[in-house]
Amino acid sequence: MELLSPAGNVEKLSYAYAYGADAAYIGLKKFSLRVKADNFYEDEYKKVIALKEKYPGKRLHCALNISFHDEEIDALKQNLDYFRQYPIDCFIVQDIGIVPLLQKEFPKAELHLSTQASCVNSEAVKMYQKLGFKRVVLGREISLDQIKRIKDSVPDMELETFVHGAMCIAYAGRCLMSAYLTGRSAQSGFCSHTCRWNFKLSEDLSKNNENHIITAEEAKKIAQSGSLLLEEEQRPGEFFPVFEGDDFTAILSSKDLRMIEHLADLKATGVDSLKIEGRMKSVYYVAMVTRAYRKALDALEGKLTQEEAAPFIAELENVSHRKSTTGFYYNKKDADETTVGASDSKYQLAAEIGEEVSSEYFEKLYQESQKRYTEYKNNLDQMHPAAREARLKDLEIHTDRKVLPFEKKDGWHMYPCTAVNMIKLEDDVEFVSPEFCSLTAKAGDWEIISSETGLKMNWVCDGHPAVIYTKYSLPDGTLLRTLDPDYIEGQIRDTGR
């Protein structure tokens, strides 16, 4: 089975490939249902080509899955030359109106039907096959038994299904809530995730003001009357009517999908590709979730033992997530269970670690470090004794102002470090990589060095160019994480997702 990971930008695409994805799916500006993801634009096709060369055999899927209006088809036609510069293996579409255009302009690219098309039966699959589709991304409302029946009926059609990530409460993700409440249409890629808001339920007393304990039947009538109102906690005084039908509630926040413990069952259905949701998620999410499913699949295929894969799978708990469900695969009731709050994690990504620097770079930085330290010492020596003493006392108080060169250490390695959160030298940090699960580096086992001056640093954060000097050998794609100081066990913060 293919492992298909999300990539909201070039950086995430790189980590998806590095951490074990067989393929990754991207979006292009204006034509994807995740326009809030960075997506791809300008000359980034050059970086994508380089990544495909670095990871031969990896596939690139491109989502053109919005519902196209005529003016958007015009824009698509105007951008065809730009799209051709990307090494796209297939297009994911829901709007069959653009199918002839793609078949004509990209004859070598496969067509994959988007889950937005709600394909959940074998007769529909046969129809899309006749239209030229190579693969169907099945609707999330389908069961394992139904998937097997479709595969048995149309064995030469590839089937793809979601296995992990956020689920939309609306059928096939066709939600009108965002457009209704915020004016941002989910079907144009602007979903505001209104189903995740924290609502209060109240009653419009102008429609029902009887002051008595109501029965279950009366409660049902009230729910179906349109007299119930929702108030979101960040928007006091703004009331939205709620209507409940026989088998649904208009506004619900679903659990996250998680099928990593059930890959054998998915394989038995004949599924060809396992898809991870999350083009708007972080680099850390893409890397860790991709790695977990890669190891689980490798264990399923006998490439490593279940015991070897277990620590990587357990790391899913250290990635932002809500309570999990198996969705519709086994029982519809599993999908009906809801949850509250945003996704959260006790860890934060602190830095991305690059490939080990060359010996020439290392020596140049070392010489710069020694030069600056010598200049500093000479300046001290030339100071008036009283001024020098005052300077030295100040440095004892403000240790981060000390000028300290790094020293060469046998067996140590140096790597570029792109910080995204604060890293403090006195803290323990953790490295995670495609090869090892996690590695804790104690204070003293690593140093932060300015990549401009070669001098030691007590801390580093976003915008400060630096390198990590450590006794550990780190493989390509390594990330550095730290415990999030704002995380409180048992409490889910509103992270916006």
pLDDT for 216 beyond 70: no
Q: Where residue 247 falls among pLDDT bands split at 50, 70, 90?
A: very low
380 φ, ψ (degrees, to nearest 5): -65, -45
Residue 104 is given by DSSP the state H
Percent of the chain with pLDDT over 70: 78
Burial (0-12, 13-18, 19+ Cβ within 10 Å), 267: middle
pLDDT in tens, 14-47: 999 999 999 999 987 667 655 455 566 678 899 9
Identify which has the larger pLDDT, 200 or 206. 200
* Residue 93 near residue 114 (C-beta atoms within 8 A): yes
Identify which has the larger pLDDT, 133 or 390. 133
pLDDT in tens, 305-338: 999 999 999 999 999 887 888 989 998 777 666 6
| Three-state SS at 67 | coil
pLDDT at 40: 62
Percent of the chain with pLDDT over 90: 59
pLDDT in tens, 412-454: 999 999 999 999 998 899 999 999 999 999 989 999 999 999 9
Q: Residue 443 has which token pair?
A: 């204070």
pLDDT at 186: 57
Give the span between the Cα atoms of 137 and 158, in whole angstroms.
9
Q: Where residue 390 falls among pLDDT bands split at 50, 70, 90?
A: confident
pLDDT for 296 beyond 90: yes
Q: Residue 54 has which token pair?
A: 């670095």
Least trusted range by pLDDT, from 181-190, 242-251, 394-403: 242-251
* Residue 465 near residue 450 (C-beta atoms within 8 A): yes
* Residue 276 near residue 4 (C-beta atoms within 8 A): yes
pLDDT at 432: 97
393-396 own/partner pairs: CB under 8 Å, 24+ apart: none
162 φ, ψ (degrees, to nearest 5): -75, 140
pLDDT at 159: 98
pLDDT at 477: 96
pLDDT at 399: 72
pLDDT for 134 beyond 90: yes
* Residue 436 near residue 467 (C-beta atoms within 8 A): no
pLDDT for 494 beyond 80: no
Q: What is the mean pLDDT of residues 363-371?
A: 96
pLDDT for 191 beyond 70: no
Mean pLDDT, the chain, as a whole number? 86
Task: Give the pairing type, strands 273-276 and 158-165.
Answer: parallel
Residue 255 is given by DSSP the state P
First to last CA, the chain: 29
Question: Considering only CA atoms, which of 70, 71, 109, 103 is closest in space to residue 88?
Answer: 109
Q: Which residues contact 464 (CB under 8 A, 6 or more apart)?
A: 419, 450, 457
pLDDT at 157: 98
Q: Where residue 239 falls among pLDDT bands split at 50, 70, 90?
A: low
pLDDT in tens, 44-64: 899 999 999 999 999 999 999
Give the span between the Cα atoms of 267 and 298, in whole angstroms.
13
Least trusted range by pLDDT, from 9-23, 285-299, 377-391: 377-391
pLDDT for 169 beyond 90: no
Q: Which residues contact 85 (CB under 8 A, 6 or more apart)?
A: 45
Residue 435 is given by DSSP the state S
pLDDT in tens, 337-346: 666 656 678 8
pLDDT at 497: 41
pLDDT for 489 beyond 80: no
Radius of gyration of the chain (CA): 27
Q: Where residue 261 falls among pLDDT bands split at 50, 70, 90?
A: very high
Residue 497's CB: how many other CB atoms inside 10 A?
17
Question: Considering only CA atoms, which of 100, 28, 34 is closest in space to residue 62?
Answer: 28
Summary count for the chain: helices (H), strands (E): 15, 23
CA 320 to chain CA mean position, Å: 9
pLDDT at 482: 94
Identify which has the larger pLDDT, 193 or 482. 482
pLDDT at 398: 78
- Length, in residues, of the chain: 497
pLDDT at 237: 75
* Residue 64 near residue 91 (C-beta atoms within 8 A): yes
Identify which has the larger pLDDT, 173 or 356. 356
Q: At what angle do helices 283-300 and 10-18 cross, to 10 degrees?
A: 20
Give the span between the Cα atoms of 447 and 451, in whole angstroms.
12
Tell me the sheet residues that pair with 111: 91
Give the span between the Cα atoms of 266 and 276, in whole angstroms.
14
Least trusted range by pLDDT, from 12-21, 187-196, 284-293: 187-196
User: Strands (DSSP E) along 41-166, which ranges?
Assistant: 59-64, 90-93, 110-113, 135-137, 158-165
